[in-house]
Amino acid sequence: MGCIVYLLLALRWGGSQYPWNDGRIVALFVVCGISFTGAVVHQQWKGEEATIPTRLLRNRSFDVSLFNGFCMASAQFTVLYYVGFVPLLLPTYTNDFLQLPLWFQAVQGDTAEDSGIHTLPLVLSVIGVALLAGIGVSIFGYTAPFIIAATVLSAVGAGMLYTLMPEMPSSKWIGYQILFGSGSGTGIQQAIVGAQVSVVHSDVAYAIAVLMLANTIGGAIFICVCQNLFLAEMSNVAAKVPDLDLGALTSGFASVRAGLSPEDLRIVQDGYNTGIQRRSLWPWYFALSLC
């Protein structure tokens, strides 16, 4: 797990606290690569006694389920965190995770309560469709049709979320959330089901553990990637608006809205929207890669 820690530190610090070409960031990437290589060699040497048995990774059906789960979880985490509830990783200003419905509060001007309500279409569609998909798999006995449907819905929904704009009517962003949530809810459990049926009974526990590890790692890595994209855009916005620093933009923009002129407010809203748009591309990439 050391290589994952090094990678997350590099992604968190790079571009925000230190330049990407800083020796500390380069060293973290190098040590990450060395640690990963060592872990692979160690797992190969342990053979059937390895933490991740090599026989699992030689199973192509399991590999497909693993890749599907990694992509779906990464896409879902980035949307839930960056369109809905957003933990802002602020290495310079604070280490707290501030969960803010960012787009609704900063771009649409919602209150905290309203922005939480406005993310319900995404959350409810994920939960509801996941239940329906589970029932469907138990009835028909096949996961492939649901995986295909999840891939298409997620790709289209993530692409639509990329088009979020300040003046967008509620009918559109509600529909986009439902579309992506339906795809995510349909697909997120299929990887677990596929992993269980693709291995022998004695390996089911290993398979589920490896799959959940991949899901968690994918979400953690690409949340850091998206956060760097967002902070880069916020740095550009802070340079355009006098008397407004990056800390104010990322630690709670709702508290500083009243002090901005209409022109500056528009600049900041567009900056937030652009930052969120850039991060919305990653769920689209993951969903499209499953096609």
CATH domain 52-289 topology: Growth Hormone; Chain: A; (1.20.1250)
Residue environment code for 191-230, b if the CB has 16+ CB neighbours within 10 A, otherwise e: bbbbbbebbeeebeebbeebbebbbebbbbbbbbbbbbbb
Cα distances from 211 to residues 29, 143, 179, 221, in angstroms, run 24, 16, 25, 15
3-state secondary structure of 100: strand
Q: What is the mean pLDDT of the chain?
A: 78
In this structure, the chain runs to a length of 291
pTM: 0.73
Domain ranges, ordered by start, for the chain:
1-51, 52-289
Residue type, 45: W
Is the Cβ–Cβ distance between 130 and 185 less than 8 Å?
yes
**Both tokens assigned to 107:** 């771009």
pLDDT by residue for the chain (291 residues), tens only, comes to 678 888 888 888 887 788 888 889 999 999 999 998 988 888 888 777 777 888 888 888 888 888 888 877 777 777 666 554 433 333 332 222 233 467 777 777 777 788 788 888 888 888 899 889 888 888 887 888 888 888 888 888 878 888 888 888 888 888 988 988 888 888 877 888 888 888 888 888 888 888 888 888 888 888 888 777 777 777 888 788 777 776 666 665 666 666 777 788 788 888 877 877 776 666 556 555 555
Neighbours of 234 (CB within 10 A): 24
Burial of 74 per CB tally in 10 Å (0-12, 13-18, 19+) = buried
Cβ contacts of residue 160 below 8 Å, gap of 6+? 172, 175, 176, 179, 180
**Both tokens assigned to 212:** 């959940």
